[in-house]
Amino acid sequence: MDLLLELLLLFLAYLLGAVPTGLVLGKAVKGIDVRKEGSGNIGTTNVWRVLGWKLGVTTLLLDVGKALVAVVIFPAIAMGVLPAFAVLVGAAVLLGNFFNIFLGGRGGKGAATSLGVFLGLAPVPMVITFAVFGVVIGTTRIVSLGSITGAVLLPILVALLHGVGALFVMTLIISTLVIVKHRANIKRLMAGTEPRFGKGKKT
């Protein structure tokens, strides 16, 4: 029975991670499909550019919040038998974001959802990573560079502060997926054509 409950919670975590917050807000509030505007991404940056800062911030907070709630509340409900259940919940939420069942398997780039997951699982590494993310964006105005920098830094900090157990393995896999999701941005960064925030539509 406990195992069935945990499997159900993992499935619910996946579905929660798959909720396309930016898409839902765009259609509900503005009647706009953000997949057809700007970069076509459903994440915070494109929502901000297309729909304005208020809906951009709302998207960010909801994406962070749904992930944080899952990794804090679901393990408390399960009180489980599976080892490292909170880590599995975090992985399920992020897989929902990356491979979205509601969007035909296509999802977001995972930055905001990762922030929520790791605030719950590894708050100190995540706070440090987010601070670096902010500095990079503040100095370069390139959001993708901040996300990629954070994806590289976070596994290092998790290894240093939490060891190389299940949490580190999950962090490494998720960070790799974040970087892969930014492969087009990496090409533009190398070519010097990646737009700065507020000056372009690609994210």
CB 67 within 8 A of CB 13: no
Question: Smallest Cα–Cα separation from 67: which of 139, 122, 148?
Answer: 122
Number of neighbours of residue 185 by Cβ within 10 angstroms: 22
pLDDT of residue 83: 59
Q: Where are the domains positioned within the chain? A: 2-191
pLDDT one-digit tens code per residue, 89-127:
999 999 999 999 999 888 888 889 999 999 999 999 999
pTM of the predicted protein model: 0.86
| Measured distance CA(66)–CA(167) in Å, rounded | 19
Helix (H, G, I), strand (E, B) or coil at 196: coil
Please check whether residue 111 is in contact with residue 147, taking contact to mean a CB–CB distance below 8 angstroms: yes
Tens digits of residue pLDDT in 53-76? 999 999 999 999 999 999 999 998
- What's the one-letter identity of residue 8? L
Rounded to a whole number of angstroms, the CA Rg of the chain reads 17
Residue 131 confidence (pLDDT) above 90: yes
Kindly report, residue by residue over 143-182, the tens digit of the pLDDT. Answer: 899 999 999 999 999 999 999 999 999 999 999 999 998 9
* Contact between residue 12 and residue 67 where contact means Cβ atoms under 8 Å apart: no
**Tokens linked to 131:** 């601070």
Measured in residues, the chain has a length of 203
- Asked if residue 81 lies in contact with residue 3, where contact means CB atoms within 8 angstroms, the answer is yes
